[in-house]
Amino acid sequence: MVGLVGGSTARAEHVVANAGGEAEYVRRMHRHAPTEHQCTSTLVKHIKAPVHLVWELVRRFDQPQRYKPFVRNCVVRGDQLEVGSLRDVNVKTGLPATTSTERLEQLDDDLHILGVKFVGGDHRLQNYSSIITVHPESIDGRPGTLVIESFVVDVPDGNTKDETCYFVEAVIKCNLNSLAEVSEQLAVESPTSLIDQ
Amino acid sequence: MAAAAICVEDEAACAAAECAGIGNLDLAAAGAGAGGKRSVYLMDCAPVWGCASTRGRSTEMEDACAAAPRFADVPVRLLASRRDLDRLGLDADTLRLPAHLFGVFDGHGGAEVASYCRERLQVLLRQELRLLSKDLGETSEADMKEHWDELFTRCFQRLDDEVSGQASRLVGGVQETRPVAAENVGSTAVVAVVCSSHVVVANCGDSRVVLCRGKEPLELSIDHKPDRKDERARIEALGGKVIQWNGYRVSGILAMSRSIGMYIASGTKSWQNDLFPFLSGM
């Protein structure tokens, strides 16, 4: 179940139990300063897989297709992958976009933070900026991961804030659910998880 | 005589059936007079068909089409009432018309579901038609519509269930329950069953069947678009939302309101419905 954590203008729906820890992470690591014509929201996902497996998937700026179901392929410009790098993402068919050009804003392997900003493409998401963080937690007595993703984006002409949030949240929910499936599958297959237990 | 035959064939009625709960099957029996002509039900209807496809703006071909001449026999009482058949001196209980199947399956997110539909739908339809022949009682025109609607609904639902892994399917002689493709892959499915007296059409998604009769095009299918009033109401009743984002889309993502496959999320039923409430059997 993907939950929603209240942001500046986010709806207070699906408030998750144990919001204490999450609220603290959101306060410290998911700060956005939306303007009047922007909307913002934060989503959480609990994944039954160790944090190192989840982070390995999330941090691959050059291979978002490993867990994002709408990505067909991705090409990083230049040879060096670092903060400031750009990637050109090609989107699968049937969706309201074909390409997205995205900049790596933040990559912290110690704090497990990935920040990405959209700088081009035909998705109508102007000034889109997102932060994903992953945090170790215990689920049913086993190592699990709390994933938090927040975003801020301009509300396009012709759409409302509600519609824009709904659309972006729908895409992020798909991504987070797929991330859970992929990493939980890896956790089952990984001999490391046996040693950990 | 050949010219007369063609002329009689041209009088065949056409009907469109909306799959999945939109029962608008419109059958009009076309019976030629007893006179000197053969009944339209006894004429051989040899299909002359061709297929052309292009991937258009996509970088990969994700469409599939099916053509299956003489894929099944249709009990004549699915096409005409007993009274009309008796009047023509035809045996309503045993007469079966050779039928041909044509279908178009436009994949999105990948080609796997479209390819699966191309092969599988005709098998399911053939099975259903065979079963149905044992089930026809006194069939009125309204009953015919219901039978076709139920038949197509069962086939489309089964297809959808197999694609999602909710129903098992045979792969290399072994029962397989894994999904045909990832959750973000789906396909339209529009099919036409053609026999000497009728064309019956069923649709799921936004592909289309158009009949060209002389110079007049006639739409035989209705697109499942999210901004269609009844589709939008159905989606919103299920807790979903239609958003205009480069066209009207379910959740702003998918441009059709029904699809074979394309579930995009595992999880609770309400979650699944919340995002993509367009299972073909819904």
- Classified as helix, coil or strand, B63 is strand
**Nearest CB to A93: which of B58, B249, B268?**
B58
pLDDT tens for A91-107 read 988 889 999 999 899 89
- The alpha-helical segments, DSSP class H, found in A40-155 are 51-58
Residue with more model confidence, B199 or A57 = A57
Distance of CA B182 to the CA centre of its chain: 23
Q: What are the tens digits of pLDDT across the range B158-194?
A: 888 999 888 998 888 888 887 888 878 899 999 899 9
How many angstroms separate the CA atoms of A9 and A29, rounded?
A: 17
**pLDDT bracket for residue B214 (50, 70, 90):** confident
| Most confident region among A102-111, A183-192, B217-226 by mean pLDDT | A102-111
Ordered by where they begin, the domains of chain B are 41-222+271-277 (3.60.40.10)
pLDDT value of position B263: 58
Q: pLDDT tens across A19-31, in order?
A: 567 888 997 789 7
Shortest CA distance to A156 belongs to which of A166, A148, A146? A166
Subunit contact A96:B183, Cβ cutoff 8 A: no
Cβ of A171 and B254 within 8 Å?
Answer: no
Mean pLDDT, residues B231-243: 86
Average pLDDT, chain B: 75
Residue A174 is nearest to which of B62, B110, B264, comparing CB atoms? Answer: B264
pLDDT per residue over B53-98, tens digit each?
Answer: 887 767 778 889 999 998 998 998 788 887 788 878 988 888 888 9
pLDDT score, position B27? 36
The phi and psi torsions of A166 (rounded to 5 degrees) equal -60, -45
pLDDT attached to residue B102: 94
pLDDT tens digits, one per residue of A136-182? 999 989 799 999 999 999 999 999 999 999 999 999 988 998 999 89
Please name the CATH architecture into which domain A30-61+106-189 falls: 2-Layer Sandwich (3.30)
Which pLDDT tens digit goes with each residue over B4-46? 222 223 223 333 333 333 233 333 333 444 444 557 788 777 7
Contact B110/A at CB under 8 A: yes
Q: d(Cα B204, Cα A70) in Å, to the nearest integer?
A: 22
Q: Which two tokens stand for residue A144?
A: 């699990």
Report the relative pairing of strands B186-187 and B174-176 from DSSP bridges. unpaired
Pick from A69, A92, A124: which is nearest to B246 by CB? A124
Strands A113-121 and B248-250: unpaired
The reported pLDDT for the residue numbered A142 is 79
DSSP element (H, E) containing A29: helix A19-29
Of A92, A96, A173, the CB nearest to B246: A96
Strands B189-194 and B242-244: unpaired
H-helix or E-strand spanning residue A74: strand A71-76
The Cα–Cα gap between A157 and B254 comes to 20
Quick count: other Cβ atoms within 10 Å of Cβ B267? 16
Q: How far is CA B74 from the centre of its chain?
A: 15
**Pairwise CB contact (< 8 Å): B246 & A171:** no
For chain A, the structural domain boundaries read: 30-61+106-189
**How far is the alpha carbon of A140 from chain B, nearest alpha carbon, in Å?**
18
In a mutational test of the A interface, the residue from B183, B251, B254, B259 whose CB has the highest number of chain A CBs within 10 Å is B251
For B234, the 3-state DSSP assignment is helix
